[in-house]
Amino acid sequence: MTKKDKKEKERRSGPPPMKPGHQYLNPDKDDQMEIIGYYPNTLKIVIVWGLIVMTGGLLRLFYYWFPHLMIKSSHTRCDLQHASIVLLKDQYQQCFVSRVKTSQEEPLHNTWIKKRKVAAVTGVGYKTSSSSVVLESMTALTAVGCDSFNIDFSRYFITKKEKYIWNDETNVFQKMKGLEDNTDCSFFHKLEGLSKDQQQERRIRFGENSIRVHVSPVIEIILKQVMSPFYIFQMFSCALWLQEQYYYYTISLLVINFFSIASYIYQTRKMQRALRNTIAMSTIVSVCRGGQVYEDISSEDLVPGDVIEIPRRGCMMQCDAVLVSGNCIVNESMLTGESVPMTKTPLPRHDNEELFSIKEHARHVLFCGTKVIQTQQQGQDKVKAIVVRTGFSTTKGGLVRSILYPKPVEFKFQRDSYIFIGLLSLMGVVGFTYTIIIMIQRGFSASEIILRSLDVVTTAVPAALPLALTIGVVFAQSRLQKCNIYCISPNSINVSGTINVFCFDKTGTLTEDGLKLQGIVPVSANRYLPETETLQEWMGSSLFNAMATCHSLTVIEGETTGDPLDLIIFEATACSLAESRAAHSQFALPVSTVVKLPTTQKSDTNMLGIVRQFTFTSNLQRMSVIVSESGKGKDKLMVYCKGAPEMIISLSKPESVPPDFHDILESYTKHGFRVLALGGKDLEGEVREDQVQKVPRLDMEKDLNFLGLLVMENRLMEETTPVIHQLRDADIKTVMVTGDNILTALSVAEECGMVNETDNVILVQGRELASDSAPAYLEYTYANNDRVDAIPNSKDRNLRFALDGKTWAIIRQHFPDVLPKIVLKGVVFARMSPEQKAQLIESLQDLGYYVGMCGDGANDCGALKTAHAGISLSEAEASVASPFTSKKANIECVPTLIREGRAALVTSFGLFKFMACYSLTEFTSVCILYWVSQNMSDFEYLYVDMFLLATLAVTFGRTSGYDYLVKKPPIINLFSVGPVLSLLALVGVQICFQVFCFLHVSKQDWYVPLVSRWEYDYTSYQNTAVYIMSCYQYIILAITLSKGEPYRRSIFTNYWFLGNIVVCTAITLWLTIYPVPGAVTFLELKPSPSVPYRFMYVGLAIMDFLICIMLEDYVLSETFISYKLQEKLEEWLAGYRHTYSLLEEEMAGDDWPPISNQQPINPSVPNNVKMTSKNTTIQNSNVSIQDETFKFDKNNHLQGYVNTSMHKL
């Protein structure tokens, strides 16, 4: 791939472009996959298995690692119509093999497909259908006037937990769907329930309504582990060593591997069981069988088209269902991250055949996994819903699939380590060839040549390397547990040390969970009164009555329940809900809820009855009630309305709105407060009592009197600000990604330090237009208009972007070239759905960032799983998707995780270099001794491998993380200049000292060549000289490569390592200077007869140590030669640098984006309301709209633009 192609790939959002002549599943969607059909070829199968037998199973092992190559080798490519196996390739180039199955059941003659809009996709060599696969009985379909055609449901395959069925008309496989797309809205209201036979038929097609997570059997996990390349090489090495009777080390290595695999099995099954137990849920559901006949069945038996009753006390939804009667108050925190429940209303009865869409009609859909808090009946009708999606097709199922099949995350250190092991293998091949040539010349037998040659390969590639690399991770995991941070994916610890961007959810992560009523700002005579926290003096006023009645609360089992926000406001009034019939009978009109006022109430009114309720909807941004005030005289009807401040003032009389409304509102929102407004009016003379239930909502909600503001606070956790400052000081980019309002999110970002005083925050706002030539545009405005005059439109601006989920979707669809710039400088992403959160993480990763994510809700699961390191502050759904879980529900864990991750990474890096140096040093010793037909004895190997190597590697990793985060992250590239020069220099020094000892000892007067007394007699002066020198070198390498500050504490704090160094050095000195006869015999040493000569080894070891320390810490340090060479290399290879650094340079050189000098327009403000900002009135404002890419007629769209909310509060 060229540099240009790579850059284009990184800047592109969504799936890759489709290739002409290729077939795809889910074209132009994020889950787009290329599909190729194959059928078995008998001749190819015979040839492949013959080759497998001839290679002793090695070819089959290769095919196990690459199953798609097995299919290509043994099958023939064909049309999908005749395929028995399909090969799938997703946008991440991952390959999946699925077998096409054929159902054997008899065809169902009364089963048909509802068809809508079959669209031909040209230019890719096939046709596909956008129709929704919907099973309906012929009678039902005929009743609603739908076209139908037969379809082959019996031919299908399953991949990534989704079922794809064959469509004979389009000759493609298409995703099995329920009733969620291209179904008339009126159709749902005509469904009266399914019979048992119809339900059974649909279960065959759609499967069980369950989200089951597979828990791998022990034997399956064992096979996956032992079949990995590392373990295969270890087994090969152990078999070879057993053949050479090298029992002790081999048995020790096998025992360690046994416990390692056992631990992996335990952790894997524990994680899978936790996910299964968290996700799996079933309950009893009441299903309509037609008319008023209901039957209780298991939720696992639900199918699309079932009519279910939602119980009055609420429930946890087990499917996606569209509400057709009654209202439901639901908590959708799993989807949105906001703990504030919302009201779901029935799907309207449309006569114009409007098509149902999950996205467009979300306010009428009860999503799987969300909690129904309570229901509200309409008259005597039950609260009913129609099942539209089940199982893994539901919203919750999609969330689980994102956990089970996340985007593959590549870690450069791990990838480089495989390459480096490949280079060591090449070195082993060189040694293998060298050994064969030498031993043939010496006249050794063929069996001896093979054994010795293979032994050299196992020396060059250390079999214990995988175990050594886990040591630092194991100790880091132990230290994290002491800090109440638990890890289910140990491999993620090293990755967390590379993090340079950390994303945070807001509610429950940066701020406390839940809201508090901070105060009330009453309005009287067109003027704001001082903010108050008590309501005693306002009892009996319209403001007080509005707070007491404008809600959807009910009493269930003696407890007031409902929207937590409504509860907070209601409890502040000290009112209560009356359930008795006597209370209801005091009102002339039928009331649904009676509010009993406090006994201290001075007004004549002692009860308020809610006659009619208009529920809250996100598009209207308000709710309202018609209230009857019961007093000594005649009942009085009032309307009270509560909602977004901008919406309430648009419905209020201009003379009742304070002139400084926007200034006061902005002062609260900029400080992170959530603000609601109240309005009301007297209905006397406007509507008759018998017309109350029929009058249109819009007529009731106009010409209100503005009553005041309710100020809600969502407090920052006390740990948030220090942690954010700590991360910023370490040059770790912090980003907020939340489902909350953008202004509130911006305020929290400023308060906690994500945005500082020098940052210029720009609101990015996107709009879609009803024009083919100009489908969308973007506008950029400064978030703080007060600073516009002081900020030049220059190239040195410190820009930060803030946008919401709607704008994010527009940018991804219409402005893919702008997306990388927005992601690079983005700091606040508000109103983001779970899917959009994961998309943001992926976009940051595409720029070359290593991304961390911290969240506390199920809506964060996808982002937590997608991130390089996700940490959950919850023990619920989020914890099973996240590699890390903190028992402390605040973000103090983030710096701790990064510090320990850096320590573990530096430890793994050092251990990798140590193991590489060890293997090359031992490889050098073996090659030198092979030159004179010698080798090291088994116990010499054992002393090095079990005593020196094992103990040094284990204690090496016990050094804990540094106390502070420094700006520069540790190196993760094994092939950067520093590590490569270090490795070459250190190995070169060891080779020089070993060769010197080998040559120098043979020049001594007392030197006697080896005369073997038996086959494996290696007792010689040359063997002892090389061996003793190498023992010192292993100790020297461990000390040299054990780094301290700034990522780990000093090695002097690692007492185990220091003690081990002392012991190893003392024993090696003892073996050098005055070895006892038993040790000499045991190790097969031949000490020099000259004691002063023995001290020469000590002197050489000291010299070796000083040279290595000087090279590693001074000459080749990051601040000297290697740093300069690295800079030159990056200049020479521009593509070597990360995309984000190149993009930063590109943005620093231009004046993008084009910024409007106007303040963001306040949403939904009527033209006759004066504003106290720099613009005099809305209609007279000069609004400069900055167009991005597309051009449009400003005059034609300005009025609609002004009257539409920019922020979608």
Q: What is the 3-class SS of 985-1049, one letter each residue?
A: HHHHHHHHHHHHHHHHHCCCCCCCCCCCCCCCCCCCHHHHHHHHHHHHHHHHHHHHHCCCCCCEC
Mean of the pLDDT values across residues 40-52? 93
**What ranges make up the beta strands (E) of 50-100?**
75-78, 85-90, 95-99
Tokens of 406: 């996340």
Q: Which amino acid is at 521?
A: V
Tell me the C-alpha distance between 486 and 480, whole Å.
Answer: 7
Q: What is the pLDDT of residue 49?
A: 94
Encode pLDDT of 593-625 as tens digits: 889 888 765 556 678 888 888 877 656 778 899
User: Mind giving me the DSSP string for 796-824?
Assistant: T--EEEEEEHHHHHHHHHH-TTTHHHHHH
Tell me the C-alpha distance between 59 and 64, whole Å.
Answer: 9
**What DSSP character marks residue 378?**
S
User: In the predicted model, is pLDDT for residue 400 greater than 60?
Assistant: yes
Tell me the C-alpha distance between 665 and 680, whole Å.
Answer: 19
What is the CATH code for 516-713? Answer: 3.40.1110.10
Q: State the Cα torsion 321-326-327-328 to the nearest 10°.
A: -50
* Confidence class for position 1206, pLDDT limits 50, 70, 90: very low
Comparing CA positions, the residue from 772, 781, 769 lying closest to residue 1197 is: 769
Residues 1058-1080 as b/e (b if ≥16 CB within 10 A, e otherwise) read eebbeebbebbbebbeebeeebe
Q: What is the pLDDT of residue 1187?
A: 38
φ and ψ of 820, to 5 deg: -60, -35
φ and ψ of 970, to 5 deg: -70, 160
Tell me the C-alpha distance between 1082 and 1074, whole Å.
Answer: 15
Selecting among 181, 455, 505, 566, the annotated active-site residue is 505
Q: What is the pLDDT of residue 376?
A: 76
Q: What is the pLDDT of residue 108?
A: 39
Mean of the pLDDT values across residues 1184-1197? 34
User: In the predicted model, is pLDDT for residue 386 greater than 60?
Assistant: yes
Q: ∠796-799-803 over CA atoms, to 5°? A: 160
Return the domain boundaries, the chain.
9-177, 218-279, 284-404, 412-484+896-1118, 516-713
% of the chain at pLDDT higher than 90: 22
Tell me the C-alpha distance between 32 and 209, whole Å.
Answer: 25
Q: What is the pLDDT of residue 876?
A: 58
Tell me the C-alpha distance between 172 and 951, whole Å.
Answer: 60
Q: Is 389 helix (H, G, I), strand (E, B) or coil?
A: strand
Tell me the C-alpha distance between 760 and 781, whole Å.
Answer: 10
* Confidence class for position 1145, pLDDT limits 50, 70, 90: confident
Put simply, whether the predicted model's pTM sits higher than 0.75 gets the answer no
Mean of the pLDDT values across residues 425-437? 86
CATH class of 412-484+896-1118: mainly alpha
In Å, how far from its chain's centre is CA 230?
A: 29
CA dist list (Å): 1107 to 580, 912, 925, 1028, 1114: 92, 21, 20, 18, 10
Mean of the pLDDT values across residues 181-206? 84
Tokens of 322: 């569209």
* Confidence class for position 1204, pLDDT limits 50, 70, 90: very low
Mean of the pLDDT values across residues 75-102? 89
Four-way CATH pick for 284-404: 2.60.40.10, 3.30.980.10, 2.70.150.10, 2.40.40.20: 2.70.150.10
Tell me the C-alpha distance between 319 and 322, whole Å.
Answer: 10
In Å, how far from its chain's centre is CA 388?
A: 27
Question: Between β-strands 593-596 and 75-78, what pairing exists: parallel, antiparallel or unpaired?
Answer: unpaired
Strand partners, 88: 35, 96
Tell me the C-alpha distance between 1006 and 1024, whole Å.
Answer: 14
User: In the predicted model, is pLDDT for residue 58 greater than 80?
Assistant: yes
Comparing CA positions, the residue from 744, 788, 671 lying closest to residue 1207 is: 744
Task: Kindly report whether the peptide bond that precedes residue 1153 is cis, defined as omega within 30 degrees of 0.
Answer: yes
Tokens of 221: 């996990």
Q: Is the dihedral of CA 665, 668, 671, 673 positive or negative?
A: negative
User: In the predicted model, is pLDDT for residue 455 greater than 90?
Assistant: no
Instruction: Compute how many other C-beta atoms are within 10 angstroms of the C-beta atom of residue 57.
Output: 11
Q: What is the pLDDT of residue 1195?
A: 33
Task: Look at 8-12, 122-126, 566-570 and tell me which has the smallest mean pLDDT.
Answer: 122-126
CA dist list (Å): 113 to 176, 319, 799: 12, 22, 53
1097 versus 270: the higher-pLDDT residue is 1097
In Å, how far from its chain's centre is CA 1020?
A: 60
CA dist list (Å): 149 to 135, 152, 167, 462, 1202: 11, 10, 11, 64, 48
Mean of the pLDDT values across residues 693-700? 85
User: In the predicted model, is pLDDT for residue 1025 greater than 90?
Assistant: yes
Residues 642, 624 contacting (CB under 8 angstroms):
yes
29 versus 632: the higher-pLDDT residue is 29
User: In the predicted model, is pLDDT for residue 122 greater than 50?
Assistant: no
At what angle are helices 1021-1041 and 1055-1073 packed, to 10 degrees?
160
Task: Look at 102-111, 743-752, 792-801, 1188-1197 and tell me which has the smallest mean pLDDT.
Answer: 1188-1197
* Confidence class for position 6, pLDDT limits 50, 70, 90: very low
Residues 1179, 714 contacting (CB under 8 angstroms):
no
Mean of the pLDDT values across residues 312-338? 81
User: In the predicted model, is pLDDT for residue 107 greater than 50?
Assistant: no
Q: ∠269-274-276 over CA atoms, to 5°? A: 95
The most confident of the ranges 909-913, 990-994, 1087-1091 is: 990-994
User: In the predicted model, is pLDDT for residue 822 greater than 90?
Assistant: yes
**What DSSP character marks residue 968?**
S
Burial of 975 (0-12, 13-18, 19+ CB in 10 A): exposed
Residues 385, 327 contacting (CB under 8 angstroms):
no
Q: What is the pLDDT of residue 128?
A: 33
Q: Is 156 helix (H, G, I), strand (E, B) or coil?
A: strand
Comparing CA positions, the residue from 459, 476, 466, 318 lying closest to residue 944 is: 459
User: In the predicted model, is pLDDT for residue 472 greater than 90?
Assistant: no
Comparing CA positions, the residue from 620, 552, 216 lying closest to residue 373 is: 552
Q: ∠1192-1193-1194 over CA atoms, to 5°? A: 105
Q: What is the pLDDT of residue 27?
A: 84
Burial of 760 (0-12, 13-18, 19+ CB in 10 A): middle
Instruction: Compute how many other C-beta atoms are within 10 angstroms of the C-beta atom of residue 822.
Output: 23
Q: What is the pLDDT of residue 135?
A: 38
φ and ψ of 363, to 5 deg: -70, -5
Mean of the pLDDT values across residues 1178-1206? 32
CA dist list (Å): 400 to 396, 403, 620, 1200: 6, 5, 33, 40
Comparing CA positions, the residue from 511, 508, 507, 519 lying closest to residue 668 is: 519
Tokens of 174: 């298409």
Q: What is the pLDDT of residue 51?
A: 93
Encode pLDDT of 850-885 as tens digits: 999 998 766 777 788 889 898 988 765 556 667 888
Q: What is the pLDDT of residue 1177?
A: 27
Task: Look at 98-112, 801-815, 1030-1044, 1055-1069 and tell me which has the smallest mean pLDDT.
Answer: 98-112
Task: Kindly report whether the peptide bond that precedes residue 1046 is cis, defined as omega within 30 degrees of 0.
Answer: yes
Encode pLDDT of 248-268 as tens digits: 778 888 888 888 788 888 878
Instruction: Compute how many other C-beta atoms are within 10 angstroms of the C-beta atom of residue 273.
Output: 13
Mean of the pLDDT values across residues 137-148? 34
Compute the mean pLDDT over every residue in the chain, rounded to the nearest whole number: 79
- Helix, strand, coil abundance in the chain, percent, nearest 5: 45, 20, 35
Residues 1059, 951 contacting (CB under 8 angstroms):
no
Residue found by looking up tokens 């006659």 in the block: 611
Please indicate whether residue 184 is annotated as part of the active site.
no
Burial of 640 (0-12, 13-18, 19+ CB in 10 A): buried
φ and ψ of 696, to 5 deg: -60, 150
User: In the predicted model, is pLDDT for residue 110 greater than 50?
Assistant: no
Mean of the pLDDT values across residues 117-124? 31
* Confidence class for position 1194, pLDDT limits 50, 70, 90: very low
Encode pLDDT of 1032-1074 as tens digits: 999 999 999 998 888 999 989 999 999 999 999 999 999 999 8
Cα of first residue to Cα of last residue in the chain, in angstroms, is 45
Residues 6+ apart with CB under 8 A from 341: 329, 330, 331, 332, 373, 562, 563, 564
Residues 6+ apart with CB under 8 A from 431: 456, 457, 459, 460, 923, 926, 927
